[in-house]
Chains A and B, each alone.
Chain A
C-alpha cells in the first residue's frame, strides 16, 4: 500500500472530538455545549470575536484546562487517559511566549523538547542532531541552528517553534494566534508554511485566529465561536452563509488586508 493510499484510507479518522463541552471561569460561562470534531487532514480555523472562547477551546483540546462538563477525545482516547503527547504539537501566542533575555540557542529550544521526558527521548534517541536539522530544514531555518533565539526576527522565532513541534513527528498542530506581533509579510510566509505542512505533509492543523483573512485561502474548515459554536463546517459554505454577514460585523476580515 502506498503512502498516498494510506492517507486516503484514513482521511476520515477523527483526531479530536469535543463532545458537549462547557467551561466556566469562576461562574462566568466561557464556552457552552460545544460539539466539534477534527478529522485527519483538516486545516480548521477557529474564529470569533475577543472573549468568544477561542483560546479556551484550544487549551481544553490540549488538556491545559479541564471542561466543567462534557468530554474531549484525542485519537479516540479520553483526554484524561491520553499519554502520547508527542503526537500533538502545540504553539501558543507569540506575544506571551518569549522572555527576550532567555539565553537559548535554536538547537537547544528543539533538543529540550526532544529530550523532555523519557518516553519521547527513547522514541527519538537516534540521530537527534539530524532530526533537529531536518525539522529546521522543513521551516527553512537550518542555517540558524546555532543562533540564540532572541537574535531572530519574530517570524523566524515562530518558525523555530513550528520546528520544535515537528521534531516529535506530530500528527496534528494546534496554534493559538501564533503571529501576534509579527509583521504582515512574515505572517503570510508563516501561513504559507502551515498550508504546505497541511497539503504536502498531510499534517492536521487547528488554528485560532482573529484575522481570518490571512489564513482564508489555506483552511478547509471553519469553526465560528461566540461562547457557543455559531458555525462549524466547510470553508466554502461558511463564506457563502449568512453567518458571515454577522461575523463581519465583529470586525473580522475575509480578505487579507495589506497596510
Chain B
C-alpha cells in the first residue's frame, strides 16, 4: 500500500481519473436524461479510428483521436439534421464507419500492438504527465461549458418546447452536448479504454437518478459515484492484480445495483 501511495504513477492515475470522473459524472446525467446514453459508446468507436490514424502517422494519437472524434460528432449532427432518419440511426452509422475505418488503418501497419491495446482496454497506471494535463484541460472545458449553460440545459432537457419559446438556443446546445461528449470520450480513452469509456457516462448517472430528489443533487451524486468508482477501481486493480478499467466499471455497477435497491429510501443530504 505504502509503495502504491509513494508512486508517481498512482498519483497521476488518480488525478487524471478524478478529472475524468468530474466530466463523466456531470455530462452523463444530461446524456441519460436526453435519452442519449449510447452516444458515448458510438463516439468511442469513432475515437478508435482517430487513434489508429495517429499511430499510423506516428503523430500524437490522442490529439488526432480528439480531432477525428469531434469530426465524427459533427457528422452525426449533420446526418441527424438532414437525413430524415429515426432515433439514433445517425449514431449507428457513424459508429460503424469509425470502427471499420479503425480496423482498416490498423491493418495497414504492423506492430501497433501494445500501445493500441492500452487504448482499447485502458491503462490508467501507464498515464504520462502530458496525458494528465491533456485530461485536465478537456475536463475543465467540459465543466466550464456545462456550468455556463447549466440552467438552459436543465430547462431544455426538462421541457424542450417551452425552452425554445423562451429563446433558449436549443440547437446550438444540442451541438455543444455532442461535441462535449466527443471530448469526454477521448479524455477517457487512456484511462478506461475505448471499450469501457461509455460506461462512466451512463452508469454513475443512472445510479444517481435512482436516489437523488433534485437536479443539483443528481449531478453531485453522479460525480461522487464516478469518483468512488475510479478510486476504488484503481485500488482494487492494484490489490487483485486485475485490469483497472474493468474494476472501475464493476464498482460503478455495484453502486448502481445498490442505488436501485435503495431507491425507495431517498437520500437525505
Interchain CB contact under 8 A, A148 and B166? no
The one of B158, B165, B166 that contacts A104, using a Cβ cutoff of 8 Å: B158
Interchain CB contact under 8 A, A102 and B158? yes
Interface presence of B189 (CB below 8 A): no
**Which residues in A have their C-beta under 8 angstroms from that of B241?**
none
The one of B33, B154, B161, B217 that contacts A112, using a Cβ cutoff of 8 Å: B154
Roughly how many angstroms separate A205 CA and B217 CA in the complex, as a whole number? 36
**Which residues in A have their C-beta under 8 angstroms from that of B161?**
64, 90, 92
Roughly how many angstroms separate A102 CA and B30 CA in the complex, as a whole number? 11
Q: Mark B133-177, 1 if CB is under 8 A from A, else 0.
A: 000000000000000001110110111011111111100000000
Interchain CB contact under 8 A, B167 and A103? no
Residue on A with the closest CB to B211?
A: A103
Supposing A97-B159, A104-B158 touch, asked if A90 and B165 sit within 8 A by C-beta, the answer is yes
CB proximity of B106 to chain A, nearest CB, Å: 41
Interface presence of B212 (CB below 8 A): yes
CB proximity of B220 to chain A, nearest CB, Å: 11
Interface presence of A116 (CB below 8 A): yes
Residue on A with the closest CB to B169?
A: A117
Supposing A64-B161, A86-B166, A109-B158 touch, asked if A117 and B213 sit within 8 A by C-beta, the answer is no
Supposing A92-B162, A102-B33 touch, asked if A108 and B167 sit within 8 A by C-beta, the answer is no
Residue on A with the closest CB to B154?
A: A112
Interchain CB contact under 8 A, B165 and A105? no
Q: Mark A119-130, 1 if CB is under 8 A from B, else 0.
A: 111000000000
Residue on A with the closest CB to B214?
A: A105
Q: Mark A54-69, 1 if CB is under 8 A from B, else 0.
A: 0000000011100000
**Which residues in A have their C-beta under 8 angstroms from that of B157?**
102
Interchain CB contact under 8 A, A101 and B214? no
The one of B154, B163, B165, B169 that contacts A108, using a Cβ cutoff of 8 Å: B154
Count of A-B contacts with CB under 8 A? 83
Interface presence of B245 (CB below 8 A): no
Interchain CB contact under 8 A, A120 and B167? yes
Interface of B is mostly: helix
Interchain CB contact under 8 A, B165 and A148? no
Interchain CB contact under 8 A, B214 and A104? yes
**Which residues in B have their C-beta under 8 angstroms from that of A102?**
33, 157-158
**Which residues in A have their C-beta under 8 angstroms from that of B169?**
117
**Which residues in B have their C-beta under 8 angstroms from that of A83?**
167
Interchain CB contact under 8 A, B218 and A103? yes
**Which residues in A have their C-beta under 8 angstroms from that of B209?**
101, 103
The one of A85, A99, A113 that contacts B155, using a Cβ cutoff of 8 Å: A113
Roughly how many angstroms separate A103 CA and B161 CA in the complex, as a whole number? 18
Interchain CB contact under 8 A, B166 and A113? yes
Interchain CB contact under 8 A, B167 and A117? yes
Supposing A103-B214, A104-B158, A104-B214 touch, asked if A116 and B165 sit within 8 A by C-beta, the answer is no
**Which parts of A61-118 form the interface with B (CB within 8 Å)?**
62-64, 83, 85-86, 88, 90-92, 97, 99, 101-105, 108-109, 111-117
Interchain CB contact under 8 A, A85 and B165? yes
Interchain CB contact under 8 A, A148 and B162? no
**Which residues in B have their C-beta under 8 angstroms from that of A115?**
150-152
Interchain CB contact under 8 A, B165 and A112? no
**Which parts of B20-79 form the interface with A (CB within 8 Å)?**
33
Roughly how many angstroms separate A111 CA and B154 CA in the complex, as a whole number? 10
Interface presence of B112 (CB below 8 A): no
Interchain CB contact under 8 A, A64 and B215? no
**Which parts of B213-229 form the interface with A (CB within 8 Å)?**
213-218
Interchain CB contact under 8 A, B215 and A103? yes
**Which residues in B have their C-beta under 8 angstroms from that of A109?**
158
9 A–B contacts from the bound complex (CB under 8 Å): A85-B166, A90-B161, A92-B162, A102-B158, A111-B151, A114-B151, A116-B151, A117-B166, A120-B167
Enumerate chain A interface residues (CB-CB to B < 8 A). Answer: 62-64, 83, 85-86, 88, 90-92, 97, 99, 101-105, 108-109, 111-117, 119-121, 146, 148, 161, 164, 168
Enumerate chain B interface residues (CB-CB to A < 8 A). Answer: 33, 150-152, 154-155, 157-159, 161-169, 209, 212-218
